[in-house]
Amino acid sequence: MARVARDEDGRSELRITDPRALRALAHPARQRVITELFSGEVLTATEAARLVGLSPSATSYHLRALERWGIVERDESSDGRERPWRATASSITVTPDAHRAAGVDSSRTSVHAWFGDLGDDLDRLAASVAAGDEHGMTARGRLWLTDDEETEIRERLQEVVRSFRGRTRREHPEGARPWNVYALLLPAQSPKA
């Protein structure tokens, strides 16, 4: 299923280990809600519905499906009427074992859903840069790495991103604006069978 692990600094990571959970993740509305909640937001179904373009009842359905897998949970209500939702951890990872057990097709569907917003984000970056914005970046290259070196780079990238986590639409430094962060280390060749 899913389990929460804590690192030495007390940060929590939800590790998805059950391959069946990949189906719960493979929906664009759920991906958008996961992005918001795992960035530290606490949202009601109505607030989440506005973000994903669905009705509050449809969004509630998706939130309950994510709750069944331990991905989100109910938060305390400030007034007793609203029923807010929050992430169960600071970050979320689908383990390689879950992808392997799901099979290539299910894994591919999950990964593509996970990065479903990438095209729109790249379009926004191109428009922003064309309008004169000096912020945002894309970079591409190839590195020849041992497995240990790949692990080191992955962990260092995750640490940089973690150092800025916890900022929300309600609580962030003045002048901050939201950025979608993608960190990819992709194999340049198919694995040898």
Percent of the chain with pLDDT over 70: 94
Q: What is the pLDDT of residues 80-104, one digit of tens each?
A: 677 899 999 988 888 899 999 999 9
Mean pLDDT of 13-23: 89
Same domain, 16 and 56: yes
Of 116, 149, 176, which residue sits at a domain end? 116
189 found inside a domain: yes
Mean of the per-residue pLDDT values for the chain? 88
Number of domains composing the chain: 2
Measured CA to CA, the distance from residue 116 to residue 135 in angstroms comes to 22
Q: Are 182 and 95 members of one domain?
A: no
Q: Say whether both 150 and 193 belong to one domain.
A: yes
Q: How many CA atoms within 13 Å lie on the side-chain side of 67?
A: 13
**Residue 71 CB partners (closer than 8 Å, separation 6+):** 2, 14, 16, 21, 24, 25, 34, 87, 88, 92
CATH at 25: 1.10.10.10
Which domain covers residue 97, as residue numbers?
2-116
Residue 54: CB partners within 8 Å, gap ≥ 6? 29, 62
3-class state of residue 186 by DSSP: coil
DSSP H or E stretch at residue 151:
helix 147-162
pLDDT at 127: 92
pTM above 0.85, yes or no: no
Residue pLDDT, tens place only, 131-186: 998 888 888 899 999 999 999 998 899 889 888 888 888 889 999 998 988 888 88
Q: What is the pLDDT of residues 104-129, one digit of tens each?
A: 998 888 888 888 888 889 999 999 99
**Is 65 domain-assigned?**
yes
